[in-house]
Amino acid sequence: MSIAPYLKDIGRGAVGARALSAGAAQQLMAAVLDGQASAAETGAFVMAMRMKGETLDELVGFLQAAHERCMPVHSERPVVLIPSYNGSRKLPNLTPLLALSLAREGLNVLVHGPLQAPQRVASAAILADLGLPPAQQPQDIEHAWARREPAFVPTELLCPQLQRLLDLRQLIGLRGPGHTVAKMLNPVQGAPALRLVNHTHPEFGQLMSAWAQRHAIDAQLLRGTEGEPVADPRRMPRIDTWLGGVHRPDLSAPAQEGVLAELPLLPRETDAASTAMYAQEVLSGSRPAPSPLARQVALICATLAQLETRPQGQPRAQPGALERQA
């Protein structure tokens, strides 16, 4: 299948490009993920969307196509979904510490992302140094949860077609719509899932808020730390929590303003081994947890408690259901 007709619409630049409907976007992404588009067409698709920018309808369609090709993850309890696709470069990557802190509270935590992040420190490497290898089959997720540990699922296992699209970044040098879709994934079936979705630009944060509201999504939205969905250890970011499409100020937090009075005690080195050792020290109590991270953990725990007691009649955002409605 050629995707040339779609490229004519989206490939006219930021001003002349035409937005796709959710249905058309779903068909386009399905063709790309299934390898029906040529390599040249797929590269053109990524570049065209990078220049044009995605609309909410387009993201909903792209996400639906990815969900249809995702490995289902079954759970009887609410799950915290942590997409980790950027890694860290300047600061220690504290996404694994966030995941471990939540798991110690008895929550089912699912981290997903690539096994490696070129020139960055990936969460998978830190978790491996902590003795938590990536899942190789669905049963590994259940076993990790039974041990009160977070489960890390490589995107290659969760949705191999999406991982192939993400791999284009190494050739093109730019992120594409696949990276945005990865942040929005919800493979959980049988229970609600709280998606942690980070953003860098305010416009994308507004787009994610509109998505949460329109499609009754359960999500915690925050300005990410080097592209990771964990609170900056130096300063509390704004956190907005949405449950069933309703903004919850009681489960949200404002951004910290003013001059920092003191800096947290962070490791001097940011490599995987040093970060893993730091995480162990925080979890053992020999080092204090950064207050923004502790606040984020508290908000997530309170949110999951709400999901545990939510009446059956209220919306639960299941993949492949609400996202289909444009």
Q: Distances from the Cα of 200 to the Cαs of 97, 119, 207, 221, in angstroms? A: 21, 20, 12, 11
- 168 shares its domain with 187: yes
Crossing angle, helix 39-52 and helix 177-184, to 10 degrees?
A: 80
Decide which of 67, 84, 110 is a domain's last residue: 67
36 and 108 inside one domain: no
For residues 17 and 104, state if they share a domain. no
Axis crossing angle, helix 56-67 with helix 177-184, rounded to the nearest 10 = 70
Q: Domain of 56?
A: 4-67
62 and 146, same domain (yes or no): no
> Would you state the pLDDT for residue 324?
38
Read off the pLDDT of residues 268-312 as tens digits, 9 standing for 90 and up: 899 999 999 999 999 999 999 999 999 999 999 999 999 999 876
List, in sequence order, every residue forming a beta bridge with 243; answer none if it has no partner. Answer: 246
Is the residue at 324 inside a domain? no
Assess whether 96 and 198 both reside in one domain: yes
Residues 120 and 45 in one domain: no
- Pick the closest to residue 250 from 262, 239, 236 (CA basis): 239
Do 59 and 106 fall into the same domain? no
pLDDT tens digits, the chain, 326 residues: what are they? Answer: 689 888 988 988 767 889 999 999 999 999 999 999 999 999 999 989 988 889 999 999 999 999 999 999 999 999 999 999 999 999 999 999 999 999 999 999 999 999 998 889 999 999 999 999 999 999 999 999 999 999 999 999 999 999 999 998 877 777 889 999 999 999 999 999 999 999 988 899 999 999 999 999 999 999 999 999 999 999 999 999 999 999 999 999 999 987 665 678 899 899 999 999 999 999 999 999 999 999 999 999 999 999 999 876 554 444 444 343 43
* Of residues 150, 108, 157, the one with CA closest to residue 133: 150
Beta strands in the chain (DSSP E): 73-74, 79-83, 108-113, 151-154, 188-189, 193-199, 219-223, 239-243, 246-247
Q: Which two tokens stand for residue 295?
A: 């606040």
The answer as to whether 108 is a domain residue is yes
Among candidate residues 25, 44, 67, the one where a domain is terminated:
67
C-alpha distance across the termini of the chain, in Å? 24
Please report whether residue 265 resides in a domain: yes
Tell me: do 54 and 165 sit in the same domain: no
292 and 188 in one domain?
yes
Query: What's residue 265's pLDDT?
Result: 86
89 & 40 share domain: no
State the total domains in the chain: 2
The reply to whether 277 falls in a domain is yes
| Domain shared by 60 and 86, yes or no | no
**pLDDT for position 199:** 92
**Predicted local confidence at residue 316, as pLDDT:** 45
pLDDT at 326: 38
The CATH number for 63's domain is 1.20.970.10
Bridge partner residues of 195 (DSSP): 81, 219
Give strand pairing partners of 109.
80
Measure Cα distances from 97 to 36, 102, 236, 244 in Å: 40, 9, 16, 27
Q: Do 132 and 9 sit in the same domain of this protein?
A: no
- For residue 152, the domain's CATH number is 3.40.1030.10
Residue type, position 140, single letter? D
Cα–Cα distance list, 156 to 109, 114, 164 (Å): 18, 7, 8
